[in-house]
Amino acid sequence: MLVQVAKDSDFTIHNLPWGIFSVPGESPRVGMAIGDQILDMVAVAELELFDFDVSVFYEDKLNPFIALGKSVTNKARTQVQGWLKSKDSPLAGKPELFVPQAEATMHLPISIGDYTDFYSSIEHATNVGRMFRDPENALLPNWRHLPVGYHGRSSSIIESGVPIRRPKGQTKPPTSDTPIYGPSKRLDFELEMGFVIGKDSELGQQVSTDEAEDYIFGLALFNDWSARDIQKWEYVPLGPFLGKSFASSLAPWIVTLEALEPFRTAGPAQDPAVLPYLASRGPANYNIQLEVGITPKNGTEQVVSRSNFGYMYWSMRQQLAHHTVNGCNVRVGDLMASGTISGKDESSYGSMLEISKGGKQPFPMNDGSTRSFLDDGDTVTMRGWGEAGDIRVGFGEVSAEILPASPE
């Protein structure tokens, strides 16, 4: 190995995710994570080792590279994988090809044309339904028949590390007959996984579950911040709006679907049976461990959730097949998010709304304080990784601090 990689690193030789980085005085460009280093793909391109147009590595977003198609992008990844392992590597003896991650700035990895958020964890949907609607009929009649989703706001998707301001809007306290205006008092995180579209479809074309993975380039951690009090007042009848559109945070590294092959797993049994266009052959979920920590201002991190991407009731294949069944086209760089990922156990809930039971059961923190929802100054950090024998593939982190609401 040309780079020493810690055994517990997210960025092992089995991973090699793609991202956009920069160093002081230079423009953002494409990089690949290996251990605690970034392989500068512009520097590699100048060695004239690839048989495709390497100008894509000079871009400040991954879209042009992704658009080359999986036959090219997968080959590039496996070529680098081989070079990193070979004693006779063309990369050997060239330390200038590598940049320490600690010295780099990471950027939003893709230009996001459209963004769709799903609602695909049955545990999360049930928990929220009990709190927001009828406890005896938590799931709406359509939920087990289709992957529920809504079109979100791509302009407010930000890279990891960018702080967010507490949103303001209308809320209706239980004690008031009329709504009030002001900062959200129930700011929340949502533990999600985003997947990036890697291939254009045509308007009127349906992408089947069998074809879906050809259209998925890779996955990244995603925090879909939520203002629960704004959301509760506004969501009937058209669904999420201002309670969601103020910010969502995307991790800097996109892990390819191919790197996740060792972690394939079957999802939950679907009852009733799905309609034929949603039927899927073979394991379509992924056993990815997930974790959420909250760090108060000047405090230490408290892990508040440990979940797993494998819990999802609706798979990515089914989400994409349903998204396009009406002929809706998708484009390279489109982002689709899983929806909050929760499990059956309380320790695996993917939002403070569930963890605190709607604010009724505050969560104890390391410093003696409690959290029903998020405080100003809190930093929320999400992590994810898969392990199978000696193979480890991780997603790094997505993190952001909460700032006070902007002054009037």
Residue-wise pLDDT tens digits, 160-197: 999 999 999 999 998 999 999 999 999 999 999 999 99
CB 224 within 8 A of CB 191: no
Q: What is the average pLDDT value for the chain, to the nearest integer?
A: 97
User: In whole angstroms, what is the distance from residue 252 CA to residue 91 CA?
Assistant: 24
For residue 87, what pLDDT is reported? 84
Count of CA atoms in the C-beta half-sphere (13 A) of 313: 26
User: In whole angstroms, what is the distance from residue 262 CA to residue 285 CA?
Assistant: 11
Q: Is the pLDDT of residue 68 over 90?
A: yes
Cα 391–Cα 101–Cα 112 angle in degrees, nearest 5: 85
Q: Which residue has the tokens 């569930």?
A: 354
Percent above pLDDT 90 for the chain: 96
Q: Is the pLDDT of residue 132 over 90?
A: no
Strand order in the sheet with 98-100: 98-100, 37-40, 29-34, 18-22, 105-107
In order of 31, 39, 292, the CA distances from 17 in angstroms are 8, 10, 21
pLDDT digits (tens, 9 = 90+) for 314-352: 999 999 999 999 999 999 999 999 999 999 999 999 999
For residue 28, what pLDDT is reported? 98
CB 366 within 8 A of CB 274: no
Q: Which residue has the tokens 């951690």?
A: 221
In order of 35, 254, 268, the CA distances from 6 in angstroms are 7, 20, 34
Q: Which residue has the tokens 């959200």?
A: 184
For residue 116, what pLDDT is reported? 98
User: In whole angstroms, what is the distance from residue 369 CA to residue 139 CA?
Assistant: 34
User: In whole angstroms, what is the distance from residue 98 CA to residue 21 CA?
Assistant: 12
For residue 123, what pLDDT is reported? 96
The helix (run of H) or strand (run of E) holding residue 370 is: strand 370-371
User: In whole angstroms, what is the distance from residue 218 CA to residue 215 CA?
Assistant: 9
User: In whole angstroms, what is the distance from residue 209 CA to residue 143 CA?
Assistant: 19
CATH label, 18-107, candidates 3.20.20.70, 2.60.40.1170, 2.30.30.230, 3.30.360.10? 2.30.30.230
For residue 215, what pLDDT is reported? 98
Strands 335-337 and 226-227: unpaired
pLDDT digits (tens, 9 = 90+) for 188-226: 999 999 999 999 999 999 999 999 999 999 999 999 999
Residue 217: burial class (beta carbons within 10 Å; 0-12, 13-18, 19+): buried
For residue 136, what pLDDT is reported? 82
pLDDT band at 1 (very low <50, low <70, confident <90, very high): confident
- Please give the positions annotated as active site: 124
Longest dimension (CA), the chain: 74
User: In whole angstroms, what is the distance from residue 227 CA to residue 187 CA?
Assistant: 5
pLDDT digits (tens, 9 = 90+) for 40-58: 999 999 999 999 999 999 9
Architecture of the CATH domain 115-403: Alpha-Beta Complex (3.90)
pLDDT digits (tens, 9 = 90+) for 233-287: 999 999 999 999 999 999 999 999 999 999 999 999 999 999 999 999 999 999 9
For residue 264, what pLDDT is reported? 98
pTM passes above 0.85:
yes
Q: Is the pLDDT of residue 378 over 90?
A: yes
User: In whole angstroms, what is the distance from residue 73 CA to residue 238 CA?
Assistant: 39
Instruction: Delimit the domains of the chain by residue range.
Output: 18-107, 115-403
pLDDT band at 135 (very low <50, low <70, confident <90, very high): confident
pLDDT digits (tens, 9 = 90+) for 279-314: 999 999 999 999 999 999 999 999 999 999 999 999
User: In whole angstroms, what is the distance from residue 321 CA to residue 319 CA?
Assistant: 6
pLDDT band at 131 (very low <50, low <70, confident <90, very high): confident
Q: Which residue has the tokens 């994810």?
A: 384
User: Can you give the length of the chain in residues?
Assistant: 408
Name residue 57's amino acid.
F
Rounded mean pLDDT, 52-77 = 98
* Cβ partners under 8 Å of residue 75, min gap 6: none
User: In whole angstroms, what is the distance from residue 269 CA to residue 281 CA?
Assistant: 13
